[in-house]
Chains A and B, each alone.
Chain A
């Protein structure tokens, strides 16, 4: 008896030593997770390079980021991500210490402290009308030590003090049809010119006193030919414009308030001119550029009216803004692209023929063309001017060039990821990659002694630092081969620039990157858009020698009938295997669960005319497809009309398109939501590759419930039309939210629930037999999360083993369109504190491990929430049996435990999506969150029950074993001696 109780004590002891909360110690940061910060494509850059202090460049980007970068290394000093509808219109540096940003269509002006990024002031600008034209003009006007900035937005000219953001004066431009084109402030004067077009053929000029906003002069003159597009200022009182045909250049001068036009047909300047031109505005005095088709022409303006072509080139050309380097001298940069190199030239504005600087820089082809260039000067040791150029490339990367070399580069394309997939790494073979073994036994022992010291809390700060660096440097995790646990993979990401990156999950480094040919601007495809990534070839078993590849799907232009484009990319090498320009459009892509003999996955592309196209276009694929012809169903959602339709295949295409792989489709069913009362705001299905381990769930009293597991379940959320607007403008009475569960093969609505007084946005996740969704409850004015679980009632009688074998089964029950599936649903709702940006669920190889919800909160953090908190069987007072089963007592809101933030103290700024990928180890799942930042980590929702953790102390184990062996010998000899003595007695 004594020993039995001892054993129980032992077991209790053992379990109490396990930590119930799964979380991270601070020294474990960076062991399995990595975090990368990006900015997005740079829209504008302003340098700050004074003699004292650190040299910086302040940038604004298309991801609405304003950031200050170290000019030396390209690191981020500080960064702010503004709201998604708070688009940055302009930035500047004022007073040498503030960064001024104009955003939200010219209505919000903010100043940030340059050294640390603290917001200093914010002011709101309003105007009489909404207009697109926006200008932020830096002036050197000083009013009692204060600088002013001139801002034209929404039809009003504002002068704002840089010190505190106070509006000093404002002047409205009420003219109905007036379109302001430029706001010019001649340097060294107190005048501001506002020029624009009114009623398409009238040129208007306003002269304003910059100190008080007084209107000094207003002139207008008509030009019968009309105007086209933008104007480019060439001198302080002269602008250049194009007439409405785009064939004649107009030099408009408004010196002394007299407006005069001077016409110059482009054909007089350029012999072989073709088609209408477009002005590329530049701020360089006396120089502007026009573009005709692919030809760029740089024109110099001499005096008032003399135009002179100085350069005509077929190469892609970018011109920087003017940089005044000394009194009255302006420099600017020209960048031209030539196959493998870019040519950078810096010239003085008044002296075209000489170059201040001429450099050629080797450029990786996978960066594409130069889109923008910004220059900055420094004084060399020999007192001459040196220039550095910041260039923005087609793939959204940012590079700093100095002295003919790339000083640093940033892959800011990764801030705008469209789609993510994963790929396995190559299998480790002899000579592929050799693991670095520990140098010698002494090193190994020393390492473990350090670890032991660490666990015993005896380590000095230096030791701790040594341990930390030892753990982080672990070369294992960034090896380029597959590992036993499946932690090392390649993340293949497609960015908005049409570039494909492969990131290593170990440390996040870029393995390869490839600018896709199919997603580049070309004659046939003017506005290519990347859409999706799919696994094309996943070799295992018999096609082991092939490299895996991915399929990239894009289309030309935003319209729904734009032709599609496909690319196939090898994921080991990053080579584009082939690319296709499709004749049909791509409305929907259905990856089919069939593969051919080379492990290529079959994909069905549905076009806008509801034809289905099969890829790959091989006879083998067609034969596989025809075998499964009648088993293929899909659905389509038309958000605008509120219709969900189910489709199936009918037969080969008829009519003019005689294509082996084209198939006609037929509509099976449709669900039409009343358009006056309901609007579809969210549709979610299960992940295609999700694995469900068990179909049954044993509940407390030995009862069995069968999960209703179907790949064809669709969750749809609709809201009342009034509730589809933003929070804050509807009352609870006029808004409701309806959640549906729809079978996408039969079109039957299996479940429907209405949440009165609720509204969107709805974020939902579907897994196994449950769906969790997040919405806003207007009555309580809090966010809510609901769970719906769906169970198969037709198998509920199968309670013992015999009935399970012989009883009713999913497969044996007749499937008919007319028989209603016997299902029951359980649901429950809880309050949730935060707004949500994305929800995902952990996924593991076999689906045994319990699940966690990964919630991307509004604060750009990712919270892991155990699915047990969203269990409809939770009650306020669970019975003893239920408690043993692990049911948590019901609370009205979901707990937020800070330790369960998987992003710990980091933010994934601009969070857009969370992706989970199973590792080979059942307990572990890989999580990748992307937005402006990238974050990756490994999660073990039920702790790593199937492997030892990283901090497992092997040395302690060895010591214990040695101690035990020693003890055995000691006790053995002791007992021998005792026995001998007893025998002698």
Chain B
């Protein structure tokens, strides 16, 4: 499929008026859904869930539903003239809805545009805008993630206190230290602020 150039995929979107006694203005909308292989990021990490047989094409919010042929073509039959909306539902892909104008005056002419980005389509070939990844991908093990976990932080904090605190204490003025100790003794119950040299300084 990938080998076929887009030019060869033209045609499509014929809205030839088809005879029907029930309603005079009945047209067909023909188009194609194309899912490129390995779009974007590739499908590593999760199984490609959307098979072609599970793709649905919906007209006007589910008024008509059709399925894809093996080559990706689809068609809606007996559609009245007007402005219609085509949606593609495929697990694993994000498709923009398409606005399709089927005009009664010049039956050969049909206009189509993606509603998400207002891009016009010269032919009704619908391609996914992006792949959809439904699951978070587990980050590979790293020492940082372990350190970042609450337990890692706990250990880190303890180590920091154990090794940095004596340093801070060492840098202190011995007189001030003595004063702090006396203060502590006088208060009896040591409070947190007096225990911390930084707090005592404030």
Contacts and interface: CB of A to CB of B under 8 A. Distances in A.
Interface of A: 1-4, 6, 10, 13-14, 16-17, 19, 21, 23-27, 29, 78, 80, 82-86, 107-108, 110, 113, 116-122, 124, 126-130, 455-458, 726-730, 761, 776, 778, 780-783, 833-835, 837, 857-861, 893, 896, 898-899, 901, 904-905, 907, 956-957, 959-960, 963-964, 967, 971
Nearest to B28: A124
B21 A834 contact: no
B148 interface: yes
Contacts of A26: 45-46, 135
Contacts of B199: 3
Contacts of A904: 134-135
A727 B53 contact: no
A34 to B, nearest CB: 17
Contacts, number: 185
A905 B91 contact: yes
Given A833-B96, A858-B87, A456 B133 contact: no
Interface string B83-123: 11101011110101101000000000000000110000000
A957 B151 contact: yes
Interface string B145-183: 010111101110111101010001000000000000000
A901 B60 contact: no
Contact of A967 (B133, B158, B164): B158
B68 interface: yes
B198 to A, nearest CB: 5
B77 A833 contact: no
A14 B150 contact: yes
A10 B160 CA distance: 11
B150 to A, nearest CB: 7
A85 B136 contact: no
Contacts of A456: 141, 146
Nearest to A22: B136
Contacts of A964: 154-155, 158
Given A728-B83, A833-B96, A956 B62 contact: no
Given A14-B150, A118-B52, A121-B69, A833 B116 contact: yes
Interface of B: 18-22, 28, 45-46, 49, 52-53, 56, 58-70, 75, 77-80, 82-85, 87, 89-92, 94, 96-97, 99, 115-116, 132-138, 140-141, 146, 148-151, 153-155, 157-160, 162, 164, 168, 196, 198-199
A781 B85 contact: yes
Contacts of B160: 6
Majority secondary structure of chain B interface residues (helix, strand, loop or mixed): mixed
Contacts of B146: 456
B151 A960 contact: yes
Contacts of B64: 83, 86
Given A117-B53, A833-B116, A128 B134 contact: no
A124 B77 contact: yes
A124 B19 CA distance: 12
A25 B148 contact: no
A971 B161 CA distance: 12
A124 B62 CA distance: 18
Nearest to B113: A781
A108 B75 CA distance: 11
B133 A83 contact: no
A24 B116 CA distance: 27
Contact of B67 (A110, A727, A776, A783): A110
Given A23-B136, A25-B135, A120-B69, A727 B151 contact: no
7 contacts: A3-B198, A120-B69, A727-B61, A782-B97, A896-B94, A959-B151, A960-B154
B65 A82 contact: yes
Nearest to A108: B77
Contacts of B134: 24, 898-899, 901, 904-905
Contact of B149 (A3, A17, A124): A17
Contact of A122 (B69, B83, B89): B69
A438 to B, nearest CB: 22
B8 to A, nearest CB: 21
Contacts of B198: 1-4
Closest 6 CB pairs of A and B: A859-B89, A457-B141, A83-B65, A124-B77, A898-B132, A835-B61
A16 B147 CA distance: 12
Given A2-B198, A14-B150, A898-B132, 11 more contacts: A110-B67, A116-B53, A119-B53, A122-B66, A122-B67, A727-B60, A728-B63, A728-B79, A858-B58, A904-B135, A960-B155
Contact of A24 (B58, B85, B90, B136): B136
